[in-house]
Structure 1
Amino acid sequence: VEAAITEAAYQTLYALYPKQRELFTQTRNNFIKLVRGDSSDNAGINKGILVGKLLALTILESRSSDNSQNQGTYKLINQTGYHQPDPTHPDQPFLSPRWGTVTPFVIQSGSQFRASNTVGNTLAGRRQFLRSEKYISDYNEVVSLGTRNSQTRTADQTEVGIFWGYDGAPKLGVPPRLYNQVVRVIAIKKNNTLQQNAQLFAFVNYAMADAGISAWETKYYYELWRPILGVRQGSPTTRAIPNWLPLGAPADGGGDNFTPPFPSYVSGHSTFGSAAFEMLRLFYGTDQFQFQFQSDEYNGATKDSITGRVRPNRTRSYERFSQAEEENFLSRIYLGVHWRIDQEEGRTMGRKIAKYIYDKLT
């Protein structure tokens, strides 16, 4: 089994990232050497390698026409309340406007769990939302807690915002890597069997894959502007603060912090994260679990782009999966890159997707 898993991982990684073949090959060979050292069944190991390769190639072939290569183009709607590039990074592209059309792994379509129409998907609907008490409340919250030099955001809230970042910086990657790291910590502490790990990581990553497709479908369906635009431009019910800056998604030594290059509603972090944490609750049958986690945003090596200093080691402790999920939820508000409604609807979407997939596969 170990040989099959190793070979399946190798074939998949090589297909997706061919430039790193040398690294993958060396790692694969080291793993196979360890497996052979623990077993006298060389014939069984060789069969495992073959099975892993065949499974990987079969799955890769099944995804060859899933529309993931169709990045598409994005046409701006030059109206109040609609997505525009981060004005502090005017050359920012529009990331994957067609990702919502990718064939999902388990759910039926990217629109199956589309978020509610609260923000409006017409000009009239958007104007109505911008006049709503909900929008005013979300605006006031992000100005209070998400401003770069906020006087109301606590040091712990700032740490939470950055801790759950993983906004694509080198050596950190993107949110699914973060949540896989969390799941790995939990699986180790739970003393999972090999079979339990295979099932858990498959379920979590199916959920996150379909959560990403669903979130991007919703993002480009509603095209809601980000706080940096909403605060700077103002609305009929909120004041404009022309030079407002959020704390921003951490660039981690790669330039100034930024607002991510895609619409605000719903939050990818919230959708990915809640899909992962809901799957953990379903898999283990409980929300109660004590664990600690150290983010690579605070690993004693990652440099903060605003202060120019290397951030210290930080480990945060949790009593429940939902406690970590809530931190992940709030983190994007503390960074000033999302409205609360993005987080709320993303959480709902992620949980629904995880439940659907769990029920479908068990």
Structure 2
Amino acid sequence: MDSIHSLISEKIVRGLTPLIDPEKSAIRDRTTQTVILWNEATQQAIRNTSPGPTVSSRAYSVVHTAMFDAWASYDPVAIGTQLADQLQRPQDENTLSNKSEAISYAAYSTLIDLFPTQQQVFDDLMQQLGLFPTTAIASPQTPRGIGQAASTAVLRFCHKDGSNQLNSYADTTSYQPVNPSESLSDLNRWQPLRVPLNDPKGRLQAFLTPHWGTVIPFGLTSGSQFRPPAPPDLATPLYRQRVQEILDYNANLTDEHKIIAEYWEDGPGTSFPPGKWMAIGQYISQRDNHSLDEDVKLFFMLANALFDAGIAAWDSKRFYDYIRPVSAIRSLFNGQQIQAWAGPGKGTQTIDGSQWHPYQRLNDPTPPFPEYVSGHSSYSAAAAEVLKRYTKSDHFGASYTAPVGSSRFEPGITPTEEITLSWPTFSAAADQAGISRLYGGIHFRDGDLNGRQLGRKVGETVWNKAQTFINGGGRSGFILMKREDPRHK
């Protein structure tokens, strides 16, 4: 089993170093690596700005769709998502150099629109690729002009996709939480918290992009297409069973559980869960020695699967507005003595249930949005489905080794011995990402399992939709992917 550490290292996962150093990579030349390099530039912009998982998944989708549309202009079969074959170039222009340049200008123009404060990151990459960093419009008969035209067409739609990008992704649905942070009246509904917990002057959480379920997806008919059944109600025995399961995990955490929870966390300062799977896509690209054409297609499908998974998960989060474990446990066990993780380096102790804390960083104890379904489970299952289909195998064969004391939640303490996480298959990795949220104390079992099921359905749907563009969709009279929704004009 290959070690993923050399390509998706601990530092990369945590957003501290680039996946590929364009000055030192000896695996393939820069032209062949164009998609990988722009994917990493997108990850860097996300790490620098920390927009959250929903906005980051959209960024991957928008930039990789723009790159795909530019590339399709040179492919004899594929068509773009926005302009079909209007930018089609003759076959004698179908060269690696032309495709790389067109893709780069598509990515550059798109990323400046998405992350205007990060332009220096993108300028630097353009210069490393030997290209002039400019948005001045060129002829659409040139690679630069084709990339710019593809970017313009994709952005024209995306500015009206319901994400509200032009207004800083502000909520468009007037969401108000049922429960205030100070009290919990409805144990079926989400409660924003002040963090760190028990700090009355702490930062008050706000639901991250509560409107996201209404964003126009890539392959789904709507965010509600595969909406899962309702989670357990407070009045049912299953509710208590699910809460008790999280209590039991928290009280019996092993070092392996802790490392799994941390490895898949991907919170602020990282490229978030979608970025983890985009990095895994980079690992597969290098493992399988992809060509530029192969990378374009893989990342186009992978990014849009992650995008649609986020929309579908957030539809469920907003529709059910379900409670997080920390709120349920602190309320149900208030005044009762329970066994629980007592904080970094303190192990399991007997504490009052009102003081229960998930195995997370103290300043970021639980995500700022409802529990059901798990975004991690949805994102991971959707990505795994695409990777399985693209590689024609579920084989992953990667691993990650956590050195002694490398924990971020318990630095210098955990693990006491080196721990290796291994994933023989993409499915195993996705399943571990899902259950990591139970170990971490921030999801219930139904949120995980139904999130996995949702993600698999999304991945299959996106895969099938993407094939229509990759395979030309009949070309004549083809109905394009992006349909303007009157709600978002």
The answer to whether the 8 Å contact 1:247/1:336 transfers is yes
- Residue in 1 aligned with 2:3? none
Matched, 1:54 2:149: yes
Aligned twin of 2:14: none
Q: Provide the aligned length of Structure 1 versus Structure 2.
A: 328
Give per-residue Cα distances to partners, 1:77-129, cap 9 Å, x unaligned: 2422210013525611121111111111221111111111244xxxxxxxxx2
**Equivalent residue of 1:318, what SS?**
strand
Aligned counterpart in structure 2 of residue 26 of structure 1, from 119, 124, 128: 124
Q: How does 1:88-107 map to 2 (within 5 A)?
A: 88=197, 91-107=204-220
Q: Does 1:165 pair with 2:272?
A: no
Aligned match of 2:240: 136
Q: Which moved more, 1:195-204 or 1:131-140?
A: 131-140
Deviation digits for residues 158-179 of structure 1 (CA, Å, limit 9, x no counterpart): 00000001112x2x13111111
Q: Distance in 1 between matches of 2:422 and 2:187?
A: 41
Q: Residue 52 of structure 1 aligns to which amino acid in structure 2? A: G
Q: Aligned in 2, Cα 1:350/1:283: closer, same or farther, shift over 3 Å?
A: same
Distance 1:4 1:33 in 2: 11
- Post-superposition Cα deviations, 1:128-175, rounded to whole Å, max 9, x if no partner, equal x22434323321211111x3xx3x11101100000001112x2x1311
Is 1:66 aligned to 2:173, yes or no? no
1:209 maps to which residue? Answer: 307
1:309/1:67 CA distance change after superposition, 3 Å: farther
Residues 1:268 and 2:375 aligned together: yes
Q: Distance in 1 between matches of 2:260 and 2:406?
A: 15
- Secondary structure of the residue that 1:141 maps to in structure 2? helix
CA–CA separation in structure 2 for the residues paired with 1:265 and 1:327: 18
- The amino acid that maps onto 1:360 is K
Any idea what the Cα deviations from partners look like across 1:282-316, whole Å, max 9, x if unmatched? 1122212312357xxx6999982554889999764
Corresponding residue number in structure 1 for 2:70? none
**Distance verdict in 2 for CA 1:347–1:322, change over 3 Å:** same
Equivalent positions of 1:277-296 (< 5 A) are 277-293=384-400
Find the aligned partners of 1:154 and 1:18 in 2 and give their Cα distance.
43
Mapped contact 1:186–1:291 kept (Cα < 8 A): no
Structure 1 contact 232–242 (Cα < 8 Å) conserved: yes
Give the conservation status (yes or no) of the 8 Å contact 1:247–1:257.
no
Post-superposition offset of 1:219:
0.2
TM-score by length of 1: 0.82
The aligned counterpart of 1:124 is none
Structure 1 match to 2:53: none
> Is the CA contact 1:279–1:358 (under 8 Å) kept in the aligned structure 2?
yes
Does 2:229 align with 1:116? Answer: yes
Aligned to 1:226: 324
Distance across 2 between alignment mates of 1:62 and 1:299: 46
Write the distance in 2 (CA, Å) between the matches of 1:159 and 1:359: 35
Letter aligned with residue 336 of structure 1: G
Tell me the residue number matched to 1:125: none
Q: Aligned pair in 2 of structure 1 residues 63, 310: CA closer, same or farther (>3 Å)?
A: farther
**What's 1:37 paired with?**
none
Deviations 1:259-290 (A, max 9, x none): 10100000111111111011111112221231
Q: Deviations over 1:307-330 (max 9, x none)?
A: 488999976432111111121011
Q: Provide structure 1 residue ranges, at least 5 long, that are not aligned to the other structure.
A: 35-45, 120-128
Check conservation: 1:107, 1:356, Cα contact below 8 A. Answer: yes
Name 1:77's counterpart in structure 2: 178
Contact map agreement 1:256 1:306 (CA 8 A) in 2: no
Distance 2:109 2:386 in 1: 26
* CA deviation after TM superposition for structure 1 residue 76, in Å: 2.0
TM-score, structure 2 as length reference = 0.62
* Equivalent of 2:282 in 165, 173, 184: 184
Q: Distance in 2 between matches of 1:47 and 1:310?
A: 55
2:464 aligned partner: 359
- Aligned equivalents of 2:354 and 2:405: distance in 1? 35
2:353 aligns to what?
A: 241
Question: RMSD of the alignment, in Å?
Answer: 3.0
Higher radius of gyration, 1 or 2: 2
Instruction: Write the distance in 2 (CA, Å) between the matches of 1:101 and 1:67.
Output: 7
| Corresponding residue for residue 293 of structure 2 | 195
Contact 1:14 1:21 in 2 (8 A): yes
CA contact (8 A) 2:357 2:365 kept: no
Unaligned segments of structure 2, at least 5 residues? 1-98, 133-140, 165-169, 180-185, 339-351, 468-489
Does structure 1 residue 86 correspond to structure 2 residue 193?
A: yes
Structure whose residues are more often helix by fraction = 1
- Identify if the C-alpha distance between structure 1 residues 308 and 84 changes in structure 2 by more than 3 Å, giving closer, same or farther: farther
Q: Give me the identity figure in percent.
A: 29
In structure 2, what is the Cα distance between the partners aligned to 1:64 and 1:306? 42
Please give the alpha-carbon distance, in whole angstroms, between the structure 2 residues aligned to 1:155 and 1:7: 46
1:257 positional shift: 3.2
